[in-house]
Every structure is written in structure tokens, then in C-alpha cells.
Structure 1
Amino acid sequence: MNLRSKLAIAFAGVGAAAAILVGVFSYQAASQRIDAELDRSLLTTSAEVAAGATQVLAPSPVTRGPDDDDHDEAQPMVAQSIAPDGTTRPIGGRPVHLDVGDADRTLAATGSLGDHRYWDFTAGRDDYRVITVALGPGRGAVQLGIDVDESRHVLGELATRITGVSALVLAVAALAGWLLARQITRRLVRLTQATEQVSDGGLAGITVPAGGRDEVGRLATSFDRMLGRLADARADQERLVQDAAHELRTPLTSLRTNASVLRRFAELTPDARARLLDDVDGETRELTHLIDELVELATHRYEAEEPSAIGLDEVVERAADRVRRRTGRTIVVDTDASAVTGQAKALERAVANLLENAVKFDATGPVEVVVRDGRVQVLDRGPGIGDDDAARVFDRFHRADAARGLPGSGLGLAIVREIALAHGGSVFAEPRPGGGAVVGFTVGADLLLPSSHPGHVEG
């Protein structure tokens, strides 16, 4: 059973339950009201009969219907008197003898004026409501009965009408529930179809029924955004695989060439052997470095680190020390007291990648690192960045013309961009006045913390 049918049945059930409860309470209220009016009428009429007004017992004109019972509806009442000794005498009305019980005899013998009791009596096919009213001590009592078949007939018709109305309410509630469920589930059906297309592996051409401020509309909007991110992720994945395959061909081709040369290793001079081994060693290092950065970029390994309060000067200094030891180059650090909530190892990796990129392009001069208010920038005196390369320098595997013959995977600055975006910031690359380049990243303003220690300048 689908959701639309369940909602329709639920609406019908609620409507039917409400109609039945209202009908039952209405029937009970009507029945109690009719019985109360009947008892009050009996008490009033019994007083008239006791006063001698027996004309109220006379037959009245009545029009019979084809479905009416054959008993005498024109004369619905019967009356009799009870002597103090318990004997009875008919007064008028229907020729029916009413039973006299011990309570009635007690009222006739010792009851005070006006004392009375109600009870029910059945004679043949007719039901009566009977009242016994005492006339005073030693004066006997009057019994008056009235045929209640007409009242029962009215209550029966009321029950029939209530049943019909309940059935009508049930049908209307089911129809309204189905229409309302159809309106509610229409977007859910289209959303389900879209999810089924996605589960079948298709992302192209999927239309999500967005719109509306209710829960379904919000779900559709969120799902549309999720599909957009999924499509972007798939496109990035395909682009990464294609770029990685392209970049891996160069070192693999070189290694294949060197492997063929190694077959004639004994024929090579010592200098040629040394150059060949250095070439193989360099290519394997480059291949290993490329694979490591591919894995890190594809898996976002740095995202598993828990954010904490850190000083950017400490992060920059650790990265600078590592690059100094690795390259022997001079790194000048100039930082303020910027502190952020972030991932220390990821930020250190980003700074180290910027420094290694600067050292690669600036082969002689010192490299500078400047930190101001969460903005990290690395300055070098290399060949600089052209206008065409400034917009693509942080793309995966992008290499400027000046970097074609230099080592590297082409992923270092792409990792910097991923880390900066993960910290709510951005990246930038621009020419440095006097020659060279300024490359760096920023941290989101909401992650900046009040400074707790002074900055410093260090070479």
C-alpha cells in the first residue's frame, strides 16, 4: 500500500470515528431528552386524570402510513385506579390491564400525595412507560401508561439517519483524504522518481520538484543541492582521474625508457650508469610524491583532524623549519599574533606547500612568509605569475610555462586551496612588485580568535 492510500484510509478512519462518536452522543442525548419529556408528560397527565379529566384518554385522529404497525396509535394511553387494598379499576384508554406490584400497592395504601414511581411494562407487542402516583394515605393511587412505540420509532429513524450521515461522512472523508493525500504526495512521488534515477546511476537531466516552504519543499530543495554537489563531485572525480592518468604517463614513460637502458647496463660507462641511476631514483621519488598527494587530495585525509585553537605564527614557524632543513634555503618569517580555530597539521601542510612552491621557482634569494590577521602570504623573487596563469595556478596539475622543466606533481597548490576552503577562507596569487610572486591563503573571519601572544620576525 502506498503513502497516498494510507493517508486516504487514515482520513476516512478519523472522519468515520468522529461521525460515529457524534452520532452515538447525539442518539443518547435525544433518547434521554425524549424519555425525560415522556416522564414529565406522564406526571402532568396523571394529575389531570386523578382530578377527573379523563378526556385526555380519548382517542385522537391519526393518519396511518403503509409501514405503520396495526396497533391502535390513535389511543396510546391507558389508565386505572388502585384502591388501598390493591384492587384495580379501569379508568379509560386502551383495554389493557397494567400490572400492579408491591411498590404500587404500598403507594396506594400509605403513599403521600404526589409520591410516584416510573417503570416499564410490555403487553403483547406494545411497550409502555407507566407511572404510579399516590393520591394520599388511604386514598389509593392512579396508574397511567403510555405506548412508547412511537418514541421508539422516532429514535429508530434518528439512528437510521445518523447511520446514513456517518456513512456519508466516511465517504466524503475518504474522498477528501485521497485528494489531500494526492496533493501532498505529488511532489514526493516526483522526488522518489528522481531518487530512483540517481540510484540507477543517472545524474544527467534529473529534474527535482523544488519550491514551497513546507517540509516537502525543503526536502526537495536540499535534495536538489545534494544532487548538484554529487554531480560536481563526480565531475571532479572524473577530472582528477583523467589528470592523474595524464601526469602519471610522463614518469612511467621515463621509467620504461630507463628500464630498457638498464638491459645494457654492462655496456654503459660509469658516468652514464650514475646518471641513469640518479634519473631512476628521481623519477621514482617524483612518482611516489605524486601518488601521495593524489591520495591525500582525493580522500581529504586532513579533514579527519579535530579543530583546535592554534597560533598561525607557530604553524608557520614549524613549516618554515621543515623547508629549511629539507632545502637549506633562507626562510624569513614575519607574523602577527593571529590565532584561529583550525586544523594545525592541515594549515602547516598548506604553508609548507606554498614555501616549497616558492623555493622551486626562486632558486637563489630568500623566501618570505608574512602573516597578518589570518592572511598568510609567501613572497619570492622567481619569474612571477602571468595573467593567464593567475586564475589557474591553484587548479590540479596546472603547470605554468616556467614550471614545465621543474620537478613537482602539480597538486601542491590545489591542496592549499582545499585546506583554505575547509577553513572558510580563499586563495590568491598575484605578481610581486619588483619581480616575483605573492601566493597565499586566508582563514575565515569567523574562525579568528583574539590574539593571546605577540607576533615576531625571524629569519
Structure 2
Amino acid sequence: MKRPRPLLRFRRLPLRSRLALLTAAAVAFAVAVVSVICWFLVQGKLYDEIDAKLTAQAKQPVPAAQVAFTLSQCTQAPTASDGLNGRPSAYYLQLIQGNGTVCLGDQSAGVITISSSDTDVAKKPNPAEATYRNGTDSDGNPVRVVTAPIVTNHGSSVYPDTALMIGLPLKDTQSTLNELALLLLGVSGIGVIGAGAAGLWIARAGLKPVDRLADAVEHVARTEDLTLQIPVEGDDEIARLSMSFNSMTSALGESRDRQAQLIADAGHELRTPLTSLRTNVELLARSEETGRAIPPADRKALMASVKAQMTELAALIGDLQELSRPDAAIGGPLQVVALHDIAASALERARLRGPELTFSETITPWYVRAEPAALERAIVNVLDNAVKFSPPQGTVEVTLTDGELTVRDHGPGIPPEDLPHVFERFWRSSSARALPGSGLGLSIVARTVQQAGGEIQLHPAQGTGTEARIRIPGAPTPPPQETA
């Protein structure tokens, strides 16, 4: 069985643990960088102090006789006599010639291992040149070394083909640096542990609002209580998340209430035609069972009533099916259609439903982006209302100009107090309750027009009647189709 990768294991940790680990890692990285920089700065400072001491010693004039004596004796082992030029015995003192020969000064602390850079200074002595490096003595102890031309006190600034090497042991300096490294390591460890603990505490404190939100979500999932609201504190991301959750639960609650209201209204609307239909069917069935024939005129009226009720019931069910679909599923995909052609087709259907009425039309071309079948049904519904409320021998005026479709009838009109409710589902004014209809037509119209990006308004017309205005944004005119 394969072990999970570290990244996968990290992702499986709780959010608090991940935040604490990330905080500790970030602090550890920062402390490590600062500690390393601090260590190198201290090292550079200590080396600068050592180099300053070595430079001061190297610049002191050396008696020419002392240089000649040291070269003539050319001792290869440290001696216990007086030091060269009074220098303390803590220093490493030696002369190096261009051929690599080393001659120790009196009271030297030991022999410094030479390098090519030392012989280069001896071959081409220059008073302005000196080299600094870390080296070792013959016993392998670390030494800080300066190699510089010899400056004498007899007028000669340099001694030819010879250089002076002065060294200081680095044992104490490296011990100090090692102690500093241990100190920084300990402080870093304490800092990382403290950062991890602080990160865990901060994560717990910062995620308390998330815990409340999670509890609220679990409560809603368990109880389906959409009235729950989370207190919003501040204006940070958590507050925005809480506001979004409250908005979501409010929207879901309103949607559920509308759904329940729709079901209740649909049941109420279905009860009337079903009751009437049941009564008529029972009368017909009783007539057949008892053998008592219904008079032909009454039977004809009864059958007409049954047919009208079934038509009304079918229309109501169709409207309910239309409203039950989500907005994205209305009709089909939007396409560029000719609004003037759809209006003309709907007008022809309206003439069949109101043959005694006069239809006045003024239609100019206008193209929109909509679903053709849904848009035609919406316009038919508006025209049906005009036909339904027009007086006998009345006139219905239809105008399509600059993308605005206007339908006006000369009926009794809509009372001002009823205008805010005309697009509500199942709402019917007191004057229309005696007429056939489900109260869903204008709701479907408003929904279809809004899906096409337009708007619809109803308001009283001048004189008598009602005027409906539908405005839908225009779309590019489709290119003419080629004919074979």
C-alpha cells in the first residue's frame, strides 16, 4: 500500500492545524534568514577588528638590521627570544621570500602555512598591496593572515623579494561564533514553537465565525429552518460570507414560500373547474343510470359547459407547466427573430378569437433576440386580454414602432389600486373573476419579456381602456437568406 504524499497528508489536516503549521513555517523561515544574516554580520565585524589589528602591525616600520638578521638566520622553528620589533608573541610572525622560503621571527606563535598569494606579494612588493585570508598553522589551527610588503625605517619603503606575514589565531573568534550560532538556534527554536502556538490560537480565534457558519449550515440541513440568520460583525471577509449566507437563506425561504403559495393557489384554482366538471359529469351519469333523459337543450348546454371547463382546465395546467420551468429553460435558446412577424401572426390569432372586433394595426420592422414560440405566446396573451375586455364592436389598437409594441383596448380599464398586482400569479381583478382565465397569463408575459431583456407596463389609456407597452432591445438585422 502506497503511503500518501506529504502534500496530500497536509491537505487532510484540519484547517486550524494547517494555519498553525504554515505560520510556524513562515516564522521559521524568517527567523532562519535573520539568524543567518546576523551570524554573518557578526563574523564580518569580528574579522574587520582582527584585520584592523593586523593592518596596524603590518604598517609599523621594521628596522632593516632586524630584517637582515632574520633572513640570515632563517629559523624554521619558533624561539623563546625577544620578539621581532617588540611585537607580542601572540602573533604569528614570519618573512616569506619570492622562492617560498619562510623565516620565522623571534617570539612567533608558530609557522603559518603559505599559499601562492603570499609568494605573489613577495615577488612584486607594492606598499599599497596587502592580502588577507584565513589559513592554518603547521598544527592545523585556524589563523587570520595578512601578507604585506616590508616597510623599513631606513628610507626604503619596501624590502625587495620579501614580504611580511602576520597572523592572529582564530580559535577564540570561532568559539564566539559557535556560541552565537547555538544561541541563535535556541532563540529560533523557541520562536518557532511560540509562533506555532500563537498560530494555533489565532487560527482558533479567527475561525470561530466559520465555526458558527458551519453550525448554521448544519442546522439548516438538519431542520430545514431557513429563517436562521447569522449575526454580522465588521466588514471583513467573514462578515461578507455571513451576509452572503443570510442572503442565500432569505432567498431560499422566499422561494419556498412562493412555491408553497403557488401550490396552494393552483389547488384553489383547480378546485373550481374540477368541482363544476364533476357536477356536470354526475348529472350525465345519473341520467344514464335512471333512464331519465335530459332535455336536448339542457343536454347541449351541459355538454358545452363540460367542454368549456375541460378547455379551461387544460389551459390552467399548461400555464402551470410553463411557470414551473426555471428561467434558463423557457422555450429554447435565444435567437434573432422578427418581432413584427411574430406580432402579425399573434394578431391573426386574436382576430379569430374576436371576430366582432375591429383591429387597427401599425407595425414597422424590428428585430429582437428572444425565443420565438415563447415570445409569440406572450403577445397572444396580451392580445387575448384586450379581446376579452373589449366591448362588443370595439376596437383594439396595435402599434409597433421603434421597438415598442403597444396594445390598447377600449374596455372598462384597470382600477389604479389593481395595477401593482396585475403581474402576480393567480391574481385577478374583481371585474375579471367572472370571465374565463387562470390569472397566469400576464405572469407568463412578464417572465418571457424579462428573459428577452425587455420590460412590460400596463396603465390606463386616455379615455377608457387599458394600454400595454412592451419594449425589447433591438438586435442586429439577420442577413437575407439566399434562394436556390
**Same fold by TM-score, threshold 0.5 exceeded?**
yes
Q: Which residue number in structure 1 is paired with residue 88 of structure 2?
A: 57
Q: Is the 8 A contact 1:365 1:380 kept in 2?
A: no
Contact 1:81 1:141 in 2 (8 A): yes
Secondary structure of the 1:206 match is: coil
- Aligned AA for 2:378? A
Tell me by how many angstroms 1:450 deviates: 10
Partner of 1:287: 313
Shift of 1:34: 3.6
Q: Counterpart in 1 of 2:444? A: 415
CA contact (8 A) 1:323 1:356 kept: yes
Name 2:230's counterpart in structure 1: 207
Q: Residues of 1 paired with 2:260 and 2:477: CA distance?
A: 43
Corresponding position: 1:394 with 2:423: yes
1:91 aligns with 2:91: no
**2:374 aligned with 1:346:** yes
Instruction: Please tell me whether residue 296 in structure 1 is matched to residue 322 in structure 2.
Output: yes
Shift of 1:409: 1.6
Change (3 A) 1:228 1:358: same
Q: Which residue of structure 2 lines up, in the alignment, with residue 66 of structure 1?
A: none
* Separation of aligned partners in 2, 1:102 and 1:217: 70
**Is the contact made by 2:112 and 2:135 (CA closer than 8 Å) also made in structure 1?**
no
Residue in 1 that maps onto 2:143: 128
CA distance, structure 2, for counterparts of residue 116 and residue 376 of structure 1: 97
Closer/same/farther in 2, CA of residues 187 and 252 from structure 1, 3 Å limit: same
Q: For 1:77, give the aligned amino acid.
A: Y
Q: Does the residue aligned with 1:334 lie in a helix, a strand or coil?
A: strand
Stretches of structure 1 lacking an aligned partner (at least 5 in a row): 59-75, 453-459
Tell me how far 1:338 sits from its aligned partner.
7.7
Within the candidate set 40, 44, 47, 1:28 is matched to 40
- Whether 1:314 aligns to 2:341 is yes
The equivalent residue for 1:264 is 286
**Aligned mates of 1:106, 1:396 — CA distance in 2:** 105
Find 2:350's aligned residue among 323, 347, 350.
323
Q: Percent identity?
A: 30
In 1, Cα distance between the equivalents of 2:310 and 2:208?
59
Deviation at 1:117, TM superposition (A): 8.2
Partner SS for 1:92:
coil
Partner of 1:242: 264
Q: Deviations over 1:157-205 (max 9, x none)?
A: 3323433553465466557756765676555454444444444422113
Retained in 2: the 8 A contact 1:338–1:451? no
d(CA) in 1 for partners of 2:200, 2:323: 51
On the 8 A contact 1:377/1:438 being kept in 2, the answer is no
- 1:425 alignment partner, one of 446, 455, 458: 455
C-alpha distance in structure 1 between counterparts of 2:250 and 2:118, whole Å: 94
Q: Does 1:360 align with 2:399?
A: no
SS for the counterpart of 1:38 is helix
Higher relative contact order, chain-length normalized (CA < 8 Å, sep 6+) = 1
Do the aligned residues in 1 keep the contact of 2:357 with 2:392 (CA within 8 Å)? no
Separation of aligned partners in 2, 1:373 and 1:170: 72
Deviations 1:293-317 (A, max 9, x none): 0010121567454445555443322
In 2 relative to 1, CA 45–427 (structure 1 residues): closer, same or farther, beyond 3 Å? same
Q: 1:120 is paired with a residue of what secondary structure?
A: strand
- Structure 1 position 119, deviation (Å): 5.6
For 2:50, the equivalent position in structure 1 comes to 38
How has the CA–CA distance of structure 1 residues 305 and 134 changed in structure 2, closer, same or farther, with 3 Å as cutoff?
Answer: same
- Return 287-296 or 38-47, whichever deviates more: 38-47
Taking a change above 3 Å as real, the CA distance of residues 101 and 220 of structure 1, as seen in their structure-2 partners, is closer
Task: Name the CA distance, whole Å, in 2 between partners of 1:280 and 1:260.
Answer: 11
**Structure 1 pair 111–47 and aligned structure 2 pair: CA distance change class (3 A):** farther
Alignment length, in residue pairs? 427
- Aligned AA for 2:28? A
Cα shift readout 1:255-274 (whole Å, capped 9, x = no counterpart): 33344334335323462554
Supply the distance in 2 between the matched residues of 1:401 and 1:42 (Cα, whole angstroms). Answer: 112
**TM-align CA RMSD:** 4.3
Alignment CA distance shift 1:425-1:16 (3 Å)? same
What stretches of structure 2 of length at least 5 have no aligned partner? 1-12, 67-83, 151-157, 479-484
Cross-structure match for 1:68 = none
Distance in structure 1 (CA, Å) of the matches to 2:356 and 2:219: 56
Q: Distance in 2 between matches of 1:381 and 1:86?
A: 127
Secondary structure of the 2:421 match is coil
- The amino acid of 1:393's aligned partner reads V
How far has the Cα of 1:7 moved from its partner? 3.4
Distance 1:326 1:85, change over 3 A: closer
How far apart in 2 are the matches of 1:100 and 1:350?
103
Q: Counterpart in 2 of 1:12?
A: 24
1:168-247 → structure 2 map (5 Å cutoff): 170=192, 174=196, 185=207, 187-200=209-222, 201-207=224-230, 209=232, 212=235, 219-247=241-269
Compute the TM-score of the two structures, normalised by the length of structure 2: 0.71
Distance in 2 (alpha carbons) for counterparts of 1:387 and 1:106: 112
Contact 1:81 1:89 in 2 (8 A): yes
User: Could you tell me how far apart the structure 2 residues matched to 1:87 and 1:311 are?
Assistant: 107
Task: Describe the shift of the 1:208–1:379 C-alpha distance in structure 2 as closer, same or farther (beyond 3 A).
Answer: farther
SS class of match (2:87): helix
| CA separation of 1:208 and 1:378: change in aligned 2, threshold 3 A | farther
Contact 2:228/2:249 (8 A) holds in 1? no
